[in-house]
């Protein structure tokens, strides 16, 4: 069965990031990933990683001005300078902690040709900056219920961008939660696009709780992923609603 990663943007949030890494190791996770670690000293993160032996799979670019409603900037025309500064920040931090990937957040562009051109140009820049550090750049389709107006919300749109740009270090973040809400048909999409996928994430649908209930049969999804020869990790990115350690019974079957 695939190896499991704890997304520390949602799990173990009662701890500092270094202590969350330690808690994830104690709980039996094989890796960690995070959202926005930039206020935490790199040395503290690296020390926790060294102590536990857990790799840091990836992190996100900052979202921008939260008070103004920003949810990423890479597809927002006219804000390229800000978007690239956030890409630089993420690449620098990821390289410093030894992470494997940076998820470049597109933002709520509302769509359109200008936004698409902006996104593709910024992704090209991100891949160029990431390449010397052997970092993968990820793009993630996010559902329109949780993030109305988000620029990329279907797997096919992500695949189209990756195919068009032809950049070897640009991959798809396949979040089963977002994809089920927007499109469904998870097993066929996983099968069709497995060669473009750089990371997989799971959570219950529709409540985004632990992946042990709801409308997605995750034991079957895990079997499909395994049969496809997936050698990466599957990230648990769910809202525990209580102490994370009290929600981990689902891990036993894997």
Average pLDDT over residues 145-150: 97
What mean pLDDT do residues 35-49 have?
Answer: 98
Burial of 134-153, coded b for 16+ CB within 10 Å and e otherwise, reads: ebbbbbbbbbeeebeebbbb
Span 54-85, pLDDT tens digits: 999 999 999 999 999 999 999 999 999 999 99
Mean predicted lDDT score pLDDT of the chain: 97
Q: Say whether pLDDT at 29 is over 90.
A: yes
Task: Indicate which residue of 14, 160, 237, 245 is catalytic.
Answer: 237
Query: Is pLDDT above 80 for 161?
Result: yes
Determine the pLDDT at residue 253: 86
Entry pTM: 0.97
Residue in 33, 62, 116, 140 annotated catalytic: 140
Residue 185 has pLDDT above 80, yes or no: yes
Give, in words, the CATH class of 3-253: alpha beta
pLDDT at residue 144, as a whole number:
97
210-236 pLDDT per residue, tens: 999 999 999 999 999 999 999 999 999
Tens of pLDDT, residue by residue over 77-110, are 999 999 999 999 999 999 999 999 999 999 999 9
- Domain map of the chain by residue range? 3-253
Query: How does residue 25 score in pLDDT terms, banded at 50, 70 and 90?
Result: very high
Q: Is 140 a catalytic residue?
A: yes
237 is catalytic: yes
Residue 1 predicted with pLDDT over 80: no
The answer, yes or no, to whether residue 2 has pLDDT greater than 90, is: no
């Amino acid at each position: 069965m695939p190896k499991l990663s704890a997304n520390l943007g949602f799990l173990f949030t009662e701890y500092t990031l270094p202590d969350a890494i330690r808690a994830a190791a104690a709980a039996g996770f094989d890796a960690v990933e995070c959202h926005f670690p930039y206020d935490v000293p790199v040395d503290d993160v690296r020390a926790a990683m060294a102590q536990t032996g857990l790799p840091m799979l990836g992190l996100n670019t900052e979202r921008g001005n939260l008070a103004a409603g920003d949810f990423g900037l890479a597809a927002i025309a006219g804000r390229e300078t800000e978007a690239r500064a956030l890409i630089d920040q993420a690449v620098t931090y990821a390289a410093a902690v030894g992470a494997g990937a940076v998820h470049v957040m597109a933002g709520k562009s509302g769509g359109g040709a200008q936004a698409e051109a902006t996104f593709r140009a910024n992704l090209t820049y991100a891949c160029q900056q990431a390449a010397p550090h052997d970092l993968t750049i990820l793009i993630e389709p996010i559902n329109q219920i949780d993030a109305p107006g988000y620029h990329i919300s279907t797997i096919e749109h992500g695949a189209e961008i990756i195919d068009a740009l032809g950049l070897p270090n640009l991959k798809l973040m396949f979040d089963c939660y977002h994809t089920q809400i927007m499109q469904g048909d998870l097993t066929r999409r996983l099968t069709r696009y497995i060669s473009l996928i750089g990371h997989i994430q799971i959570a219950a649908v529709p409540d985004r709780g632990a992946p042990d209930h709801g409308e997605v049969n995750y034991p079957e999804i895990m079997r499909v992923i395994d049969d496809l020869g997936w050698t990466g990790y599957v990230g648990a990115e769910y809202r525990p609603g209580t102490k994370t350690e009290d929600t981990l019974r689902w891990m036993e079957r894997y």
